Amino acid sequence: MSPPGSALDFRSAQAVAADIREGRTTAREEAEAAVARARTDPFNAYTALVAQRALAQAEAIDADLAAERPVGPLAGVPFAVKNLFDIEGVTTIAGSKIRRDAAPAAHDATAVQRLTAAGAVLVGALNMDEFAYGFVTENAHDGPTRNPHDLARIAGGSSGGSAAAVAGGLVPLTLGSDTNGSIRVPASLCGVFGLKPTLGRLSRQGAFPFVESLDHVGPFARSVADLALAYDLMQGPDPLDPLCRRPAEPAAPRLQAIADGPLRVGVLGGWFAQGAFPEVLEALEIVADALQARRGVELPGAEQARAAAFCLTPIEAAHLHGPDLKTRPLDYDPAVRDRLLAGALAPEAVAEAARRYRPVFRDAARRVFEDFDVLLAPASVCPAPGIGQATMEMDGQPVSVRRNLGAYTQPISYIGLPVVAAPVNRPGKPPIGVQIIAPAWREEMALAAALRLERAGVVAAHRPPPVPPGEVRA
């Protein structure tokens, strides 16, 4: 255990909660330590702190424990959220300059409320790509988030701050969002676990929108158990989110039994192997062998699904940003502004064609899942590129880093399937993750497969090297 004020802490969320319940530390001490780590954050993961709130909530938890009153399963566990989640009293900037003069949020986002109700202690808000449009978290206004495993490399995005905060030992649990891969890509590059649930499973109320038909929210953690617990605590209908209507179906109690039973596992080929770096294919093979996945399988139409998601993203996003694009265009990151403007100019017929392909691709995936419980695919095309690196090679051709890091995640987001991003255990090598994809509403299958791999030591959260002395926030 790291004492209060120490640099980094790599305990799991449930280990922290147990230490507090059993009197080895207090919620106040844990909150003080998390705030101290945030203030000296060497990764540029944080953009705002709520220290007074954290300390007040921690003191209330300690008082409940002292009085032997019931506390939640995450009582005293520090957590942080991507800065597109509403935090009461804090302006939700969504990584932008434009929103910095907006009114503070009147209430916490639903996901934040539900974790807080379970005892988790909010420490602050985390860096991201502007308006969640990107895969790199090289934010034009707040600077780049640095990968804890190599400070010269990106953390991925758009939830880069969320992944780096867990990977770097700042907090054991964070929240992010995933539209085209924004949980899975940074989880892969930073060597932690991430979950993109089924579209509509977790409430998006109070999370600043990007693309209505593609936006998901989900957790990052250092263990499958923490990931499943956080996911379960956030489940349930939300009358403030019309898409979130499904009753809670807790996954954690079922994981052991599923992990111990037979699993039919397929390995996606075709589009999901094109352009992949050798180490990505090596990681995928390690996981496939461990799960005894003997069959490769094609998901017909994946390339077209990715193209459809590419079309829908700027078009739907441009509707939201139309007024600001007209009156404050120079306040946008140019890389974001130009794509939004392109979306605003696209004919509506393009969006309609992109939407019409969704049921076709959904049916193709449904047919594949008749033979498999989960499917495996890379979570990113390569390990983390360098900060400022504009291009990389795929199949011998230079391509844009920003446009292609999510090549394997976008088709899955397009139809809203649940995915666990799991970090493959490759000692001494840069982090890289795999996607464990399940049928809609079957998150427990992906989590159970990840648990089986974790128990076998095949996947594990990576421990980064010590931060060099003198390194400070970017």
Residues carrying an active site annotation: 82, 158, 182
- Closest by CA to 275, choosing from 388, 187, 380, is 380
Q: According to DSSP H, which parts of 204-347 are helical?
A: 224-234, 255-260, 278-290, 302-327, 334-345
Q: Are 265 and 291 in contact (CB under 8 A)?
A: yes
- How far is 192 from 23, CA to CA, in rounded Å? 28
- How far is 337 from 231, CA to CA, in rounded Å? 33
- Collapsing DSSP to helix, strand or coil, 296 comes out as strand
Task: Give the number of other Cβ atoms within 10 Å of residue 238's Cβ.
Answer: 20
Which two structure tokens, joined as six digits, stand for 103?
């009114």
**Can the peptide bond before residue 413 be classed as cis, meaning omega within 30 degrees of 0?**
no
- How far is 455 from 8, CA to CA, in rounded Å? 25
Cα torsion 327, 330, 333, 336: sign: positive
Which two structure tokens, joined as six digits, stand for 255?
């994981």
Cα torsion 40, 42, 48, 50: sign: negative
